[in-house]
Amino acid sequence: MKLLQTDHALAQGSYYTASCARTHNWSALQGDHQFDVVVVGGGLAGISAALELAECGRKVALLEAHQIGWGASGRNGGQAIHGLACDQEVIEAQLGLDASRQVWDMTIESIDLIRKRITRYQIDCDWQDGYLGFAVNARKAKGLQDWADRMERVYHYPMQRIAPGETGRWIASERFHSGVHDPQGGHLHPLKYTLGLARAAHEAGVTIFEHSAVTALERGATRSTVRTSAGSVSADQVLLAGNVYLGDARTLAPELAPRIMPVGTYIVCSQVLGQERCTALIPDRSAVCDTNFVLDYFRPTADHRMLYGGRVSYSTATPRNLPASMKQRMLNTFPQLSDAEIEFAWGGFVDITMNRAPDFDRLPARGEQRAPVYYLQGFSGHGLALTGLAGKLVAEAITGDASRFDMFARIRHNNFPGGDLLRMPSLVLGMAWYRLRDLF
């Protein structure tokens, strides 16, 4: 059993770290430096932006507090799927249907971008086509089918319907009523992909600093400076892409802290099951999610294990008996895995917004200060594909075309209620209500 008890350690004690060798280790920032752009955060959003900017001729520095891929980008469920964490109606209500269609199309572009980058940069990351969404009862099945019908009719995005009598062809589980299949989605090994993209960024000219936590952001009229304990980087533009791992967000960007909340997510991975047994569980080897608000998500790995996620914590406390409780969730779906040992259990935080829509924008100007500071946050557990696109959009904005970035920046976001003391207890109570709804 490889379960570690703190978030810092949980992020590193995963199946992914055990099955992926790091071939690059970058030094920490020392001394003072000048760049065109400085990116804070070594996950997929920051790396993607740095790569795109370097390929446009910008001199880019990327600072990561730990190691590349340390946060959610390197330890998530590995599923690259359509859409946002929020319903499209949230975007429609704010931006209108035409803009909402463009946002949806960009989420599909984000999956295509993964495929293109895997090919272009020769990233070996175990990509597998296919995504399955399943409802656990007839009421939720109607909601899923109505949603799929509307997505085809209004957004021109067809998906294959899976009727109740057909679920056994797609998954060896009696838990699910019916579902949909999307061949454009898929899954991968996220740490391999993140490290491969970082290698591509390095080869494109990005200067990467690991173990370089940013402690201060000083905004000037034409340039800004980020500081660590051992040095600084001054740049024309700054991108904050650390999400909940920015450090003391109230120091770096006090405007952003109330707009996101950290949510603990947890995953287990079984022992090797063998190809025949693993394929029998999900014959086309797609990634799978159910449609509950607190959902389960799972997929086979390239070495024929079952990787299963689903438990969350809204209080930032790691659940007790995590391996056992997560195995029970897995057995609720696949009781035939009762003899399969759990070899890895891990977790960490993702960032969520009030409306579950992504939060991309620039920090507002302070007085006469004008140097641009961009930020990307609020992927709300739906970011494996969208982070890559977000990096591309902010790079477009920095290099002169902000039209697509500004479409996301138009989405309005509210602070979580309750202030510093009460917003987390309020969220815990609210999520308890949604858990109750999932039971019916």
pLDDT at position 9: 46
pLDDT at position 315: 62
pLDDT at position 268: 97
SS3 376: strand
Q: How far apart are CA 98 and CA 433, in angstroms?
A: 33
pLDDT at position 314: 67
pLDDT at position 280: 98
pLDDT at position 418: 61
Look up the pTM and report it.
0.93
Report the chain (440 residues): mean pLDDT per 10 consecutive residues. 40 85 94 98 98 98 96 96 96 98 98 98 98 97 97 98 97 98 98 98 98 94 94 97 72 84 92 98 98 92 97 71 93 98 94 94 76 92 95 98 98 80 49 46
pLDDT at position 200: 98
